[in-house]
Structure 1
Amino acid sequence: MEIDQHIAETIVSNIKDVLRHEINLFDTHGVIIASTNRSRIGHHHAAALLAAQTQRTVYVDDDHRYEGARNGINTPVIIEGEVAAVIGVTGERDAVESFGNIIRRMTEIFLRENIEQTARYNRRISETNLINQLIGEHQDTELIRYLASVLDWDVHAPHYVAVGHMAPCSPSLASTPDPVILPVRHLQRLPGSIFTANANGCCLVVESTPDSTAALRDLHEALSTDGVAIGFGVSEPTADLRLIPDRYRQARMALDWQQFTRMVQIVHVSDLDFGLLVPSMDHAYMVQFVDHVFGEIDDARIRAHQRTFDAYTRFNGSITHAAEALHIHKNTMQNHLNGIADDTGYNPRTLQDYSVLDTAFRLYDYLRFTHAYDKAPEA
């Protein structure tokens, strides 16, 4: 095991704040790689080499001299049965001998923290690479199987894709320098999943089990508790890795509809109706359809008609209840419905015309949501 130069310097700097002695950190070959006395970096130290080879503390004093060594103590740092480094304190033996266990334990703690941090980072990179391979159109089967084995991820189990998007106005995200820290703390606890995340959202490939749906709800609740406003789109499961790109598209479609409707926070593609059709439609045809129905009507009047139409729909065609909801007289409500018919040529009280208007209002809203449609007001 070899220690990174930056980590070695960090360890020496931290120990220096505790002990008022010269501190040296050696690699397993007895070479000083970090020291409070920078002029000694790169020097060979025979006592440190012996400590590494024997896995025992080696003392240097007037009776025990070693090439390149000054009086002091040199103790090996052992991680998982292997010498990772040797840490030394310069000084008279009587003054520094009691520090042997202290500096060894401190160095072990720093090294273990670094090893764990590096392992987490490497896993994150591997998970990101695996997900990119899984959802990409040109999968590298051998690379997928290699990364899956590294991550102990079951390539034969059924999985679904979940894509999440965080609202930029989330209070905790706004006050956090690195927003991705918030979701990752919870994402890594989701059983049977791999994930990748950035400042705006995340993508998970989750093993499909009887408990996985509840686990995703728990994840959403945990994120919400942290103040993170997030919605998820979820695909159908598949055990065929070749279908994962299609499942990713399903999840993106479900997420798109979730963001558009905002009715629920987790949308499964299997629950979509209009959501299966609208996001996949060509925007040019949507615009053509909306323009056909609404003609030259400006946005303000379309929205006014939509409020009338929505109330009429919500109360299943009851003019009385719709009028009460809008705080208007029922005769005014009838006039508003007539106004829709006059402006569009489609009468909401006629079943066939109603379906055209319903579709037009939905497409109008969706086009505005995607910033693909903006009618100019009348002059």
Structure 2
Amino acid sequence: MTGERCKVEKNGSIIKKMTEILIKEDFIKDVNLKKHDRSRYIITRILNPPLVDTPNHYSDVFYYDYATPHFCLIGEFKTIFNFHYEEVYRIISTNTHELDEIIYVIIDHKLYLFVQKINTHQLNSWLKLLSEKISSHFDVPFYFGVGPVSQSLTTANQSFEYASNALQWNKVNEEKPYLHFSDLDLGLLLTSIDKKRISLIKNKILQSIPSKEYEELKKILLTYGEMNKSINRSAEKLYIHKNSFQYKLNKITQYTGLNPKVLNDYVYLYIAFLLEDLA
């Protein structure tokens, strides 16, 4: 830039500031990129651990100490859709100021977080906040599953598996902002069943129900159990006549050969419908 100083100094100052801003933005992008690369490496290493773990559990290119107590978390939207990962990252990065180091990355639509241990109340409050922020931004419910505390590469791998079980059950049955693996009851059993076996059980019991009636009859059965097998209360909750409700129960028996009024038969049907959601 040439010219008299008094005429060009102001423009030069503006250009200088703009250049500084561009350099700073480029630096921040570079830092964030390296941060995500580091997070992806660490979490991928946990999910695919080496066959032989080192005694101290932290010798890798980033020298990360996996022996430090961590919570292993997985988050996912209720329904799968294409979204901008950067928006989720932004929400997390602007709501982690009270936490120590947190590692997170999205892999196949699932958000994996490796968080140095904090007290459970603080963790729950933070997850509730994140769930609300992400759900509100995308207008789709977002849930978390929480695994047990890990203190090694091997236990972190197991904890992420348990977090996946908790998330799976949370999405289909609880629908809470977060669910700890330690709080699973029936879900502990059902989420441990192999997918091929789930398909076998589901097909054996439910395959004769017409697809157009499936959701309605499922709702009938689950409501019947929720209302402690009271036809009157179940009908009231669904705003239908009790005779209509009874008719729907009979339809379930007609299609499956199992009578929801019989305890054992109800249990078979209940589990089969829940497994359908887990398939």
TM-score, structure 2 length as denominator? 0.77
The answer for the alignment partner of 1:283 in structure 2 is 195
Equivalent residues in 2 for 1:222-371, closer than 5 Å? 222-227=133-138, 229=140, 230-261=142-173, 263-294=175-206, 296-367=208-279
Deviations 1:37-66 (A, max 9, x none): xxxxxxxxxxxxxxxxxxxxxxxxxxxxxx
Q: Kindly, what percent of the aligned residue pairs are identical? A: 25
SS at match of 1:322: helix
User: How many positions carry a matched residue from both structures?
Assistant: 268
The Cα shift of 1:331 comes to 4.3
Deviates more, 1:276-285 or 1:127-136: 276-285
The Cα shift of 1:206 comes to 0.8
Say if 1:101 and 1:301 are closer, same or farther in 2 by CA, change over 3 A.
closer
Distance in 1, Cα, partners of 2:41 & 2:70: 17
Contact 2:148 2:162 in 1 (8 A): yes
Contact 1:155 1:241 in 2 (8 A): yes
- Unpaired runs of 5+ residues, structure 2, are none
The answer for the alignment partner of 1:206 in structure 2 is 115
- Unpaired runs of 5+ residues, structure 1, are 1-20, 22-90, 174-178, 368-379
Deviations 1:13-48 (A, max 9, x none): xxxxxxxx2xxxxxxxxxxxxxxxxxxxxxxxxxxx
SS at match of 1:288: helix
Quick one: which of 208, 213, 216 aligns to 2:127? 216
Contact 2:206 2:256 in 1 (8 A): yes
Say if 1:224 and 1:263 are closer, same or farther in 2 by CA, change over 3 A.
closer
SS at match of 2:91: helix
Equivalent residues in 2 for 1:177-192, closer than 5 Å? 179-188=84-93, 189-190=95-96, 191-192=99-100
The Cα shift of 1:226 comes to 2.8
Equivalent residues in 2 for 1:111-190, closer than 5 Å? 111-138=23-50, 144-145=58-59, 148-149=62-63, 155-166=66-77, 167=79, 173=83, 179-188=84-93, 189-190=95-96
Q: Give the number of the structure with larger relative contact order, counting CA–CA contacts within 8 Å between residues 6 or more apart.
A: 2
Greater Cα radius of gyration, structure 1 or 2 = 1
Say if 1:233 and 1:92 are closer, same or farther in 2 by CA, change over 3 A.
same
Equivalent residues in 2 for 1:4-83, closer than 5 Å? 21=1
Letter in 2 for 1:164: G
TM-score, structure 1 length as denominator? 0.59
The Cα shift of 1:97 comes to 9.3
Contact 1:161 1:204 in 2 (8 A): yes
CA RMSD of aligned residues (A): 3.5
